[in-house]
Structure 1
Amino acid sequence: MQAARDKRPAGPDEDLPALFGQSTAVFAALAGPTHLLQAANPAFFATIGEERARTGVALAELMPELAGQGFIALLDDVYRTGRPYTGRNVRVVLGDGPGAREAYFDFTYEPHRDSANTTTGILVIGVETTQIKHAQQLMAEHRALLEQIARQAPLAEVLDGMARSIEDLTPQEVLVSVLLADADGRHLRHGAAPSLPDFYNEAIDGIATGEGVGSCGTAAHRREPVIVTDITTDPFWAEFNDLAARADLAACWSTPILARDGALLGTFAMYHRTPRVPQDTDLALARVFASTAALAIERHHIEQARAAAEARAEAARDELAEAVRTEQVLRAEAEQRAAAAAELAARMRAAAAAQAATSRPDRCQLGGTRGCTDPAEIKIADSWGDAAWGCPAHVEEAILNVRTAFIASEELGGLAAYLGR
């Protein structure tokens, strides 16, 4: 079955040993000044490549790549002087061409002497530290990512840096992708994928979560890792086979990124150019960095929620301030209307007093201190018994502002006649 599931998530106590691995000791016995390989343990041949597993041949002939790296010269010096040599965490490139690989060793060249104390060969004893070296580098990058998260670096920057660090430090070529879940958990959006082609990232941006929807859609749906070792034969990838072929992708291992409460945050995927089955170190690496991505995404969500709350609070403060300003304007207008009404009422009382000796004046009595030269056409009165004659404009102003004022001109038909004029 191509799509495998890791049913029991490992905890940190399991992941770190898996990342740092177990060291394997290598041993080889070399004879004579040409360093003829007399014997070696299986770990030595596994390290240099089983296709080179033979004895009775000079080491420089068996492993020609060593000469250019100075190791044969070191053997010559130990053989000549009889003094042992010890190297710590020494880098060596094994093989050549596309099959070459970088490795690190702690090793000792120990001279072998005969009964006359003459050096007759060299014993090579070493421990490969490649996995430890790579794991230490990865953990250093991991600490740097945690520092980025702590100082609230942008999420895109954290995820992109995480993807690049994994791609740079893993021994085999890997292309990392992080997809982010929508709020409803039904779709996955592009988060980071620095080495995948743009057309691929665009095509899977917004992919649905669900059973059989590639590695990532299925991992998001199941809330557990989905390991597809060969995209060309796996039914989960039937819909995306052509897309994967265009992007030169042959395997995809996807791990869901989950919040502390189990909510889906996204997926962390590792793509490969050739079909490949993950090792324990690969799965441990995916879990460690999926957990780191979860921390970064959760922090991002918290910051987004905080910013949104602050924006709402600011909007509420602005609305309150606007309401206060509006209330102040309305209060000022009301006060102005009240003052105008009082002034008009005063005008009416003054006009009533002035017309006590005459039945109808010639000019408008409602102009106040400023006066009004328009003809007096309409008589108004209020409930207090005060009455005055005024022009249509001042009469209308009085009626609108003095609630007790009404048309009192009987010959004009009262208020109904005025409104229908």
Structure 2
Amino acid sequence: MTAVSGQRPIGEEPADAESVAAQDLRALFGQSLTVFASFAGPAHLVETANPAFFAAIGQERARTGLALAELAPELAGQGVIAVLDQVYRTGEPCTGRDVPLVLGAGAHAREAFFDFTYEPRRDGAGTVTGIQLIGVETTQVKHAQRLMTEQRALVEQIARQAPLAEVLDGMARCIENLAPEQVLVSVLLADRDGRHLRHGAAPSLPDFYNQAIDGIATGEGVGSCGTAAHRREPVIVTDIGTDPFWDDFRELAGRAGLAACWSTPILARDGSLLGTFAMYHRSPRVPQDSDLALARVFADTASLAIERHHIEQAKAAAEARAEAARAELTNALRAENKLRAEAEQRAEAAAELAARMRTAAAAQAAAPHPEHCQLGGPDGCTASAELKVADSWGDSAWGCTTHVEEAILTVRSVFIASEELGGLAAYLNR
């Protein structure tokens, strides 16, 4: 059966937020019940007891006329029978505060805490004939203290910017420890577009299950979590084996040993989807008001942690972009400075070369024009010196057309020059 009506989406402010918070606190930590029982004789036969006493030890054991050790044998090993023996023997009353007891056995066992008063009963002669027990169950008070401690620890983790995975894993384990019955907690995180859910934390669910649902779509009928994310309201599936929302995941849930799933959306302050908070059970189960209140309390805590994580992510991304921009600007300035330095070096080299060429030209201009070719090598050349060639180092010589052509083809950077090193003018005007 799927039930969703009447549930307040987490993150959505109700008309009276204080009254809803107060209702959640009452659901989680309601009025403690006073237990009463009267025992007779040294065997501590249960003569009478109020409904709260039988509710504490289990309604299936609501009988009188049996010894307490026979009715609830688990109490013998926890000191209760020993205290009754002492009070019966000495006639002195006894009290105990926050006495821890494990009531029931096996899958039905639960831990509880009590404040007890043991008073001896006497007959007309003053002889102890039995004991009256009055107690107040303080289990809810202890759970309230543990919840406050765990909540404070989680808020401190969020404040010191602990990794989101660490916060969510700690929160899941906390709920699993606080819940009166076995529960397996899962937190899924929504993608930025809100269309898919990713694994956030699920310390007690099998790895194959977490891997299989990592990335599931949000949408109507996509299990409890996909539907809750789509509707933005809690979805309570009390029996996975028959609920149509689980048609595509029923075999997977069966392999994981899951029979019920209650999912609550985690919403940001602006109503956007942050993820889902789910409580799984090993057997079909209908949630109590305290279960739903616990889900709302911790979904609000998860919302705080996830929003803080998103803020830190955005801040880190902005800082990374700013750092990249600064690095790019620095590189551009370095490149600009390098190019400027290279340009200055080239300008200086060009100026130096020009100066050398001017000096060489002036020196060569004063040299007489030879009669014969100077490029003939050791054997000399008797041809007329018709053309002048020069190089970039300032050297020059006169030669015939044949040897000038050889020089131009053989020697690097040789060019025909006028007497003023005017370049091709002399060649064009030859």
Moved >6 Å (runs of 4+):
357-361, 374-378
Q: Does residue 393 of structure 1 match 2:402?
A: no
Aligned residue number for residue 27 of structure 1? 36
Offset, 1:97? 3.1
Structure 2 vs 1, CA of residues 374 and 16 (structure 1 numbering), >3 Å: closer, same or farther? farther
TM-superposition CA deviations, 1:111-158 (whole Å, max 9, x none): 223333332221111111222222322321221121222222111111
* The 10-residue stretch of structure 1 (91-100 or 198-207) with the greater mean CA deviation from structure 2: 91-100
Offset, 1:57? 2.2
Aligned residue number for residue 235 of structure 2? 226
Give the alignment partner of residue 72 of structure 1, picking from 68, 75, 81: 81
* The 10-residue stretch of structure 1 (110-119 or 219-228) with the greater mean CA deviation from structure 2: 110-119
Q: Does residue 343 of structure 1 match 2:324?
A: no
Partner of 1:243: helix, strand, or coil?
helix
Amino acid of the residue matched to residue 190 of structure 1? H
Structure 2 vs 1, CA of residues 287 and 377 (structure 1 numbering), >3 Å: closer, same or farther? farther
Q: Does residue 215 of structure 1 match 2:224?
A: yes
Offset, 1:314? 1.6
TM-superposition CA deviations, 1:265-300 (whole Å, max 9, x none): 111111000001111111111111111111221222
Amino acid of the residue matched to residue 393 of structure 1? S
CA contact (8 A) 2:228 2:234 kept: yes
Q: Does residue 275 of structure 1 match 2:284?
A: yes
TM-superposition CA deviations, 1:208-240 (whole Å, max 9, x none): 011111111111111111111111111111111
Structure 2 Cα separation of the partners of residues 362 and 410 of structure 1: 8
* The 10-residue stretch of structure 1 (355-364 or 122-131) with the greater mean CA deviation from structure 2: 355-364
Q: Does residue 364 of structure 1 match 2:373?
A: no
Amino acid of the residue matched to residue 295 of structure 2? A
Structure 2 Cα separation of the partners of residues 161 and 4 of structure 1: 28
Q: Does residue 139 of structure 1 match 2:155?
A: no
Offset, 1:392? 7.2
Offset, 1:341? 3.3
Structure 2 Cα separation of the partners of residues 237 and 377 of structure 1: 103
CA contact (8 A) 1:215 1:226 kept: yes
Structure 2 Cα separation of the partners of residues 61 and 347 of structure 1: 121
Structure 2 vs 1, CA of residues 394 and 303 (structure 1 numbering), >3 Å: closer, same or farther? farther
Q: Does residue 49 of structure 1 match 2:65?
A: no
Partner of 1:39: helix, strand, or coil?
strand
Amino acid of the residue matched to residue 372 of structure 1? D
Structure 2 Cα separation of the partners of residues 283 and 195 of structure 1: 20
Structure 1 Cα separation of the partners of residues 178 and 217 of structure 2: 31
Amino acid of the residue matched to residue 95 of structure 2? T
Aligned residue number for residue 4 of structure 1? 4
What is the number of residues matched between the two proteins?
392
Structure 2 Cα separation of the partners of residues 8 and 202 of structure 1: 30
Q: Does residue 85 of structure 1 match 2:94?
A: yes
5+ residue gaps, structure 1: 379-390, 399-404, 415-421
The alignment's TM-score, normalised by the length of structure 2, stands at 0.83
Offset, 1:102? 1.8
CA RMSD of aligned residues (A): 2.8
Percent of aligned pairs with the same residue?
Answer: 73
Q: Does residue 249 of structure 1 match 2:275?
A: no
CA contact (8 A) 2:360 2:395 kept: no
CA contact (8 A) 1:265 1:294 kept: yes
Structure 2 Cα separation of the partners of residues 280 and 341 of structure 1: 90
Offset, 1:352? 5.5
Offset, 1:356? 5.5
Structure 2 Cα separation of the partners of residues 112 and 375 of structure 1: 144
Offset, 1:340? 3.2
TM-superposition CA deviations, 1:3-31 (whole Å, max 9, x none): 33443357433323322222011111222
* The 10-residue stretch of structure 1 (303-312 or 173-182) with the greater mean CA deviation from structure 2: 303-312
Structure 2 vs 1, CA of residues 142 and 394 (structure 1 numbering), >3 Å: closer, same or farther? farther
CA contact (8 A) 1:179 1:266 kept: yes
Aligned residue number for residue 154 of structure 1? 163
Structure 2 Cα separation of the partners of residues 209 and 363 of structure 1: 85
Structure 1 Cα separation of the partners of residues 177 and 254 of structure 2: 23
Give the alignment partner of residue 139 of structure 2, picking from 130, 139, 143: 130
Amino acid of the residue matched to residue 413 of structure 2? A
Offset, 1:328? 0.7
Structure 2 Cα separation of the partners of residues 64 and 342 of structure 1: 109
Partner of 1:121: helix, strand, or coil?
strand
Structure 2 Cα separation of the partners of residues 341 and 227 of structure 1: 85
Q: Does residue 317 of structure 1 match 2:326?
A: yes
CA contact (8 A) 1:33 1:79 kept: yes
Structure 2 Cα separation of the partners of residues 41 and 393 of structure 1: 119
TM-superposition CA deviations, 1:24-70 (whole Å, max 9, x none): 11111222222222211111122222221122222222222222222
CA contact (8 A) 2:388 2:396 kept: no
Partner of 2:95: helix, strand, or coil?
strand
5+ residue gaps, structure 2: 10-16, 370-385, 402-410
Structure 2 Cα separation of the partners of residues 193 and 229 of structure 1: 20
Offset, 1:395? 5.8
Aligned residue number for residue 211 of structure 2? 202
Structure 2 vs 1, CA of residues 148 and 406 (structure 1 numbering), >3 Å: closer, same or farther? farther
